[in-house]
Amino acid sequence: MLYTEPKVTVLARPQFAEPAHLPVAWKGESSDGERLAEFAGRLCYMSQHNPAGRTTAEYLENIKRQRHGSVLEHANYTLLFEGVSRSLTHELVRHRAGMAYSQLSQRYVDESEASFVVPPAIVGDAELEGAWRAQVEAAQAAYVALVEQLMDRYRWVDDKVHRRKMAREAARGVLPNSTETKIVVTGNARAWRTLLELRSSEGAELEIRRLAVLAIRVLQGEAPAFFSDVEVYDAADRRPAARFLHSKV
Ligand SMILES: Cc1cc2nc3c(=O)[nH]c(=O)nc-3n(C[C@H](O)[C@H](O)[C@H](O)COP(=O)(O)OP(=O)(O)OC[C@H]3O[C@@H](n4cnc5c(N)ncnc54)[C@H](O)[C@@H]3O)c2cc1C
């Protein structure tokens, strides 16, 4: 199977349990994650009575404007990314602070039937797609052959699971960067903002930029106040990019 778009699924979002002894005078609609961040921010000044009469969205806008982003760290969101390439996840996992990752293992999982992600710059050009596809299919055929030969070479290893792992971890060396992978990514709202700002910008690689723009849209749906200052626009290269008004909160 060839992927031309990533798939993003929300796996987990915050659940806020408001303490009865410290109630906040909430205003406006908001999600649990946004309320959790507002609660944390208000605790710093014991301003639960909401003296400025702000809605949660207004309160969090002010937090972002003042770059007081540590309160955003309380709200964690877990996303499942599918239909992304190994080269994309190689870049993704460089984002360390506030992020957690669990990715499909090429040592354990058989890649004989692996899918591949068509690089965005190639999509829609039949000639380029054909050349790319020929390379990918040849690499996959080489992988299958290597696994078979390695299983035979190490037939004296009794533990079949271990033998398969030995074969696959060596054979994966011929799989291309475009091999599709799946990764579970958890981040707090501040860390997501940093990651998504860097990876949705015009300077970012096209596939991760496309994913970042999609993730922004998904997270804007989850917790609009955390991403209200983010504008998605069509860049000069005719692809969507995003800009953050309150950069690096
Ligand atoms: C367009 C683009 C091109 C890139 N090209 C390359 C490349 O050619 N080669 C390459 O190797 N990488 C490249 N990178 C990756 C880049 O160098 C970073 O590794 C990646 O963007 C993660 O950024 P970060 O370290 O700020 O993120 P995080 O690890 O999420 O950190 C977030 C922030 O926390 C703070 N922080 C985190 N860890 C520390 C620490 N140990 N000490 C002090 N402060 C810390 C910093 O303020 C940091 O900005 C590129 C990234 C982009 C966006």
Measured in degrees and rounded to the nearest 5, phi and psi for residue 226 equal: -75, -20
- How far apart (Å, rounded) are the C-alpha atoms in residues 71 and 188? 10
Gap between the Cα atoms of 149 and 40, Å rounded: 58
Catalytic residue among 54, 172, 190, 199: 199
Candidate from 70, 72, 91 with most ligand 1 atoms within 8 A of CB, to mutate: 91
Domain ranges of the chain: 2-8+80-181, 9-79+182-244
The predicted pLDDT at position 183 comes to 98
Q: Which residues line ligand 1 (CB under 6 A)?
A: 94-97, 194, 198-199, 203-204
Q: What pLDDT was estimated at residue 248?
A: 76
Measured between alpha carbons, how far is 48 from 24 in angstroms, rounded to an integer?
4
Choosing from 87, 91, 94 the residue with most ligand 1 atoms within 8 A of its CB, the one to mutate for a pocket test is: 94
Which residue puts its alpha carbon closest to atom 7 of ligand 1?
91
Strands 2-3 and 116-117: parallel
Looking at residue 249, its pLDDT comes to: 61
Long-range contacts of 127-130 (CB under 8 A, 24+ apart): none
Residue range 180-226, pLDDT digits in tens? 999 999 999 999 999 999 999 999 999 999 999 999 999 999 999 99
Q: What is the residue-wise DSSP string for 196-232?
A: HHHHSSTTS-HHHHHHHHHHHHHHHHH-GGGSTTEEE
Record: fold of 9-79+182-244: Gyrase A; domain 2 (3.30.1360)
What string of pLDDT tens digits covers the 249 residues of the chain? 999 999 999 999 999 999 999 999 999 999 999 999 999 999 999 999 999 999 999 999 999 999 889 999 999 999 999 999 999 999 999 999 999 999 999 999 999 999 999 999 999 999 999 999 999 999 999 999 999 999 999 999 999 999 999 999 999 999 999 999 999 999 999 999 999 999 999 999 999 999 999 999 999 999 999 999 999 999 999 999 999 999 976
